[in-house]
Structure 1
Amino acid sequence: MGQSGFCIRGMALITAMVLVFVLGVQRGGCATHDLETVILQLDWKHNAEFVGFYAAKDQGFYREVGLDVRFVEPGPHTDPVREVVAGRADYGLGQSDLVLGAMKGRPIVLLSNFLKRSSVFVVARPEIEQVSDLAGKAVMGDPAMGKVAELAHMFKAGKLDPGTLNWVPSTFDVDGFARGKADAMVLHVTDRPFVGTPGRRYSVFTPSDFGADFLGQSLFTSKESLADHSDRARRFVEASCRGWAFAMDQDEAVTAALVAAHVPKKSLETLILGVRAVKKRVLPATYDLGTMDRSSLQRIADTFVSLGMADSDYDLSGFIFDPSGGMTPLTQVSLTGLERRFLADHPVVTVAFEDNSKPFSFVADQGHQGFAHDYYGLLAKKTGLQFSSEFGSWTANLDRFKAGKVDLIDGISFDRDRQSFTLFSPPYYTIPLTLFTRNEFGFYFNISQLFGRRVGIVRDVYFKEALAGYPEINIVALADTQALMQGLSEGLVDAVIINLGDGLSTIRKLNLTNVRSAGAIALEGKTKEDLRIGVRVNLPVLLTIVKKGMAAVTASELASLRDKWLLPAPGSTGLRIHLTDSEKDFLVNHQVIRVGNEENWPPFDLNVDGEARGFGVDLLKLVADRIGIHLEFVPDHTWDETVTLFYDKKIDVLHSLTRNQEREKHALFSLPFYSSPHVLMCRKDAPPVTDIRSLYGKTLAMPEKWAVVDYLRLHHPEIKLIYTADTMEALSEVSQGRAFGTIEQEAVLHYFMKKYGFSSLKKAFTFDEFDNLGNASMYIAVRNDWPQLMDLMDKALKTVSPGEMAGLEVKWFGQAKQNHWNRGGTLELSGGEEAFLKNLKKIRFSIHSDAMPFEGDEGGAPAGMVADFIPLFEKKLGVPFQYVPTAANASAVDTLKSGRCDLLPMVAVSHLVDENLGLTEPYLSLSVGIIVNESFPFIKGLGDLAGKDVGIVRDSDLGPALVAGFPLVEFKTVGSVGRGLLEVSSGKLSALVVDLPVASNYIEKLGLSNLKVVGHLDRLKSIGMATQQKSVELNRIMRKLVDSLTREEVDGIYQKWVTLRFEHRFNYKNMWRYLFITALLFSGILFWNRKLSAFNRQMAEANAKLEQLSVTDRLTGLYNRMKIDDTLLEEIGRVLRYNYPLSLILMDIDLFKQVNDTHGHQAGDAVLIQMAKTMDKNIRSTDICGRWGGEEFMVICPHTDLKGALSLAEHLRESIARQIFPHVITQTGSFGVAQYGNGDSEADLIARADRAMYLAKEGGRNRVESVL
């Protein structure tokens, strides 16, 4: 039976081949010498996948359009894209990897797609039962295949790192794999029959089984080729489509015959099965041959982003070939005839938007803005719809929509009651539903907390019926969000339910300091508000167009809108950590994080007068600032209650705690941020104790529920325990002799010893047994269903520099961690550390070759301070240091990362953030300054250089922070410090930001006498050491080395190398001329003694004039920026000494640019002069007024609290509004007011006043606002 079947099929194949030949001969075409030869680069060996191209060639379709097509098989490492882009082939075949290439900027154009499903799979030996088993195995194929989209997706889903595969060059020899040349092989679907060969059993891994849905065979060319030969491309595509149509219409045997001519060694059975597999992937019943499914391409692009293989800001415009016009953008939607007729009949569609729903939809000076505005812009681009916008409150918009006065309504949520008049689109965004309350409410945990309270909602909101199910709640419906939040602040309602974005933006806009988020709320199971587009019920075709447009909005476009409008900004430092798309989505939906706050566990966590304080609190605030989240601290609970709330997910974060098995069931833990051993404290007159067992029979006073208490009860029940409320009470029990001792973390005990004395107590021993289990380290704990927040915490913790940590330690412990117990300048290494150094034999170090006087390379040897520090290090460690020069075009950091050296002895640990490096504490600090040409006027800081070209040295560790912190400054990269100084000297750059000692060295070396220092950055740059992160032992030794350095050792080396000329306030060149004149006159005193008094009067007048010029704004006659800043610093100093109130007023002239644009700059100057007179005339005698810059004025108000300053500002506002101004008649100003707070810097006070001033502007101008 089998033989007869084979014979019949063999005869069918012969018949088919004869038929194919006859058909091919009958077709006419161009003479061969008239044909244009083109090369088609295949991406696999000849097989049934290419049957349509074989048909186009063999049936003469290519000849008919003047083409002689030649097929080229690939070699083991052939990249079809590279061949086509290089011009070695005219056209090529590929799969979904073509999309990835285009996303990464490869200049290719997709011409057509024939196989709608991927044909790639992996076959493996039978003992390899799952994808992860392939790790370390020999796989036949090219290493690049690990990045093929469908395989990368399958590997990731199967938990396999492609880097662990041992790739064996492929010979496309299936039989070779069968003979054992490899453990697995990447194959195409046309090789699938091989898997079913009798007597063979294999494991088969298909990407589609892992959820991968990618395209198969696709035809492409280069952009250059298409530009030069667009007509040829059109002819080639048309002929290829005809070939595929022919192949799909034929009997399987005929189609197999087409393949057989190119694959003569394959059996009939194999060819027919291969053809069958190909036909299944063409899907002719679903797609026209050669067409490209844009939604599939978009989905593939988004998958590449999710795999981390491409960035989300990709651009695929021009990737798809349009035969009528060259190329077409990827995201254009296809419309039916009915939909196109609708667009023709409705050239404009009206939409109702909210006018005060920031950040989604709001109207500002610049017109309509927000997430919704930009989203509808995308819809218009993709569909051809043109939108006309109408604005109003939500209630007014809904009434307008019901009445049929608009076609669409934005931001509507699904509600069954609205289905009678609304067709709903899918949600285009969802955002958490949130309860907002006044601060004294506390935090929301369940709906019963709202019983008996007045709860505000927007009138006609979608969840009103859900609330109606709680008659115990008094519902108050108002027109819009602003009315609700204002009413909440003023006590008209007790709580408000709105979405998180609207609530937070309204709080910021209205400066509602007594209102906050109390937590997410769920109504009828809904925790999020779904923002949809509502369409009138009589416009169903419009809904289909809108839905197509929404489907065409890419994930990357949505991500861009999210980042622009919804992502919380980083805090005051301006330093933003890198965020994944998953982390960005998390932040949009979780901008307020609840943190447990202990009542009294200093110095880590305590609450003073309702404010969370402590080392852990400050660190967490620093971390939150980096992430861009707002922390709400939850006080007024015992530690046990706080932990229970955390386990119940009613608190999101705990901090400054150790890990144990119970906590790990409920929490995700950060990297350890602090380590402090547990020690025993006892009375000085107590008998000696050396370890934990010597405490058996004795009594310890311990706070109950501490982790160490559980350990003692379990492992040392022989120790008696009495329980106290907190550490303070425990120490008191020991001090008064009611307990032998207490065990607590060293840092905590140091705080209490320093603050409260306890002079009768001493440290007895360190509880190593407990600490060796990891209990010495402190962590941040995050609820276990928020892994994104845990990742964010870890990323942010890595950006906290040793210098910042040292600052927190000094603040809360009184000194840096390493000196808690007065270790002094000694270097004590353990036996293991000494053995490590002995085995290491030498420490290889590298340096920055262009950073004198700190370090430099002179004749192949280190120079500068480092040359003095290295012998000191060698002496302390007793091991030689070997210098390793950096390679050309490589940095010192690169040298360390690559393993060519072990240590960088001088790096900026305060700014360097690199997870691959292990950093020590700093041992040296230096100023970073601003260098300008001597002709440049004095400035206070970088903020005064807006719009100026300012140099930063290439690879400077300060670069990213400066660019982020000063977006208005035009930063330019220079190749070296010397080059930057020369460009400042010649005027090519306005300024250079540079380490001042390095600048001093170069200024002297280059002889640049026309440079000066006019300012410095607020923060110092801290120098420490760096090792590789994996070199844990060496890093620990280097930390000890840094700890051992004395101030005298460091200062002695530093002072040997550093000198610098610094201009603090004013260029006194003219004053020296006065002094020269003085000297000449003085020499004539013996002859003209009678003129002495006249001369003294002249000099006094000249000096007074000079002083006046240096502090006065030339235009207005008020104090200038320099003087007003100095005065503010002086007043803050007085506040610190005498403790009187101080307030600050900033005023900005409203719409001043229009004055200059309309009336000219002379008119603008006249307005400034009159404004200065009005301000100066209406302030009090104790107030100080100055022009702070441009059209901004500052008033310093000594002995004045916030209420008094607000009254003065309101008086000034009214006086200005009544004043008649030249040219413009009337003019107004916006005022911001702030009062100095305990611990404020000058910058803090100015920043609050500035923020208040901009609130006044956003609130409509001609207003007075304040920020606490």
Structure 2
Amino acid sequence: MAFSSPVNGQDSNEAASKTALTIGILADDKPYSFFEERTPAGFSVDILREIAANSGLTFEFRAGTWPEIYAAFMRGELDAIDGISYRSERAEEILFTDPYHIRQTFLMQDSAHPVGQVKTLGDLKSLKVGVVKNIYYRGLLEESGVDLNTYDSIASMVRALAFGWVDVIIGPQLSLEYQATHAGFRFLEIAGPAPLGKLAEEDFRIGVRKDLPDLFQKIQQGLNAIPDDQRADLLERWQEFGGASLTETKSFTPSTRQSRFLKELGPVRVGVMRDYSPFSFRDAGKLQGLTVDVLDRLADLTGLQVIPVGGQWSDLLPMLEDGEIDVLANMSKNPERLSFTRFTEPYYTIPNVAFTKDKSLQFTSLKSLKGLSVALGSDIYYEDPVTRELGAGARVFTSQEAMFEALADDRVDVVLAALPNGNFWVRELGIPGVHIAGELALEGQPSGEDLRFGVRSTLAPLADILDQALAAISPTEMNTIENRWLGAGSTLKLRADEKIRFSPAEEAWLDDQNHDISYCIDNNWLPLEGVDASGNHTGLSAEVIRLFQQRGDIHFSHVATTSWPESLEAVKSGACDMLAMAMKTPERTNYLNFTDPYLQVPNIILGRIEAPFIENVGDLRDKKVAIVKDYAFSELLENRYPGLKLVEVTNETEGLRMLQDGQIEGYVTTLATASYYMQQLGLADVKVIGRIPADWSLSIATINDEPILLGIMQKLVNSLTPSERHNLQSYWRNIRIEQSVDYSLVWQLLAVVALITAMLVYWNRKLGRLNRQLETANESLARLSVTDDLTQLGNRIYFDREFRKSFQWCQRHGTGFATAMVDADLFKNINDTHGHEAGDLCLQSLANTMRAHFRRETDRLARFGGEEFVIFTSYEARQDIIQRLDSFRKAVAEKTIVFSGSEIQLTISIGLATGIPGPEDSPAQFLRLADQALYAAKRNGRNRLEARAAKN
């Protein structure tokens, strides 16, 4: 290790005035001091840089192990040394600054397997405890009879805890949390202080030789000049965000060229794995997960229109290669894929590990799996080396769930999978006795699975745009997303009467606020939120606040304002801590942080009764369109539709009156508030003329200089149960207007209706006839909005509306409820071989056969998406519904479809879930079980029915 030339003999003034003073730091002590490439980084390095800036000194960092830098310092080869603790014997030769940090030693545990309270060393005797070898308190632990496992570094120790090899680990709090966060182990948490007495604390100071008092004074003065809040900010940066600044505001605005490219590009089809929990998965028909949240944030930043395409990896990868989708999420980079893919930088990296029930198995390399049956995912980046090494022992699966079902049934010995995904399926399937045998590390391959967005090579500029947008996602936002899906709270399922468990830092913050949080609202936005005659908060957001107040043991104080703009100013100035209901926009992120949305509300355009229906917002170009001042969509409409003549109004009532009086041609609002105010004002000459292709995603918004408050509110939002979220959606009138896949027929019909209505208005002004015509138009719109254009079965809107109704009817009457997922087998081959017209004909034939077999009053049929359908109904005898479905399956297989002289044989696979719903059951459980049964039908050879009982 090279150090500066000796400085023995120089006087103190000479040393203090040197151009560059050499200071020794530890080379690998993350996050205190380490090197990123050749640049020193870390909490201690940041402190030293602040000292240098405050004192006018310049430090030259020299790194090494502690014995190396301490010996060099004592030989006079260094002017100062960092991170040294005070000892009386050292004070004879060294001047010590005041401590700039007290390193606390803590216990860390897996949140899924808490160790309970540990107050004494005796409490550790029943546990497997991990420590770094040669740590100074190791002797004390061994003397107390603690079962120790030693590791060469804190990083290795943290991984051992994440893999379940030890019950608890001991180390510096900052180092443990940094390593856990950096490795993506959000489920690891601090369990409390280590019971080590005085050894639990270590003071960090800067040491200077005694013959350099002037230099010491300058360093001490520079240290004193660092404000306490700045020091706390630096500590939090490294503790929570890996060193990223909380105050740095990143932004991304596409360049003119990029904006033109995005506009010409139009909607982008993004492939998202539907069985890759917790990163992306489908629950009750909705794609969600960490990747989906990141994708949503990228869409916000870039204005990109995203069409998610859910599927299995084995289907999505060929679709990207063939150009059927434009982007593929959850994609790792490897040389083979570079020929057809442009990759973004990773947005997350996770370790791949070996899951097994064999407690004796130690996985150090692929050779240790010889002779075993090993499951891995199809087309995963390590498939080739694993299959080459293991030969017939490697079993490739197309579904994550199927791999772990095979492990549960002892059909495979080992499953290779990403750590969070495997943990999810082990919990989801309730597989007992599973442990992690080791981490998959292949020569020449990345040590973990690097999750990126893969873009079609022909759309290379899009990869650069996504990269820039990824870099603009703030540390707070990414931390919130990761905590939501990977943190301890991500698997928490609260009962309505349970309390949220906050972290020590969050509890301390709440104590400082006397458990009181102030908030502002929009006074004129009912039924979503508003005030009653007495000035009290009412509406949907009031119900949300009530739930949070009960669950978090927090008092929320409503700060009265007169308007929404005044509420925004109030939160900006600190007059209130948060907004109860707000939508994220680029401008608002400059002063607000946002939780995940807890409510989605359709965004519509109102017009006068005689106005034609519009196909898109661009049809209103150069026309006056009103929106309430400072509403989120005011900013978004200005950016996306500059041709609109936007008129800002004070509140909903003013906007509706202006529309009624003909002062404006359109009014942008939510379906919920439009329904409410049109009824309140008795407006019969105003109607919905179109929908804006983006809904109101409403969140809690907190002031951005209080990141702890954001964490508190995110936990409260996460605590909302599915039934509570459903009740919130039902709070406003259950009206949905959503366009079908093919708009032309809808708008042609509606245009005819509008024309007839206009003629009636012209010839007869009688309000009764107008109302009857409006009712007819609305009925037509309602029917078309829930019908799939191709098959004439119900669409997803129909399914969302009827599925829960049917379930609840069976629940109330104690009747059997059946949910069947139907999927056309190898449908892609039909499209590839005969063309999409043939595929459409097959789907129409399938729908006709389905209608012929399910004609009962309680039978409900819907196209779920693509070639997937769902049948749900009540039943008296389980065998009856099984026979009906199997008869339907056989009829499809026996039918020959003729297209352009070719005969096409179509078969289907069916997954059935049956049972009598109980009070604690949900419709999502039946849908999930049917989906699992469908996967089993596919896996077991297709053209078959698999049935599973939800309840006896």
- TM category (shorter chain) comes to 0.3 to 0.5
TM-score (norm 2): 0.38
TM-score (norm 1): 0.30
User: Larger relative CO (CA 8 A, sep 6+): 1 or 2?
Assistant: 2
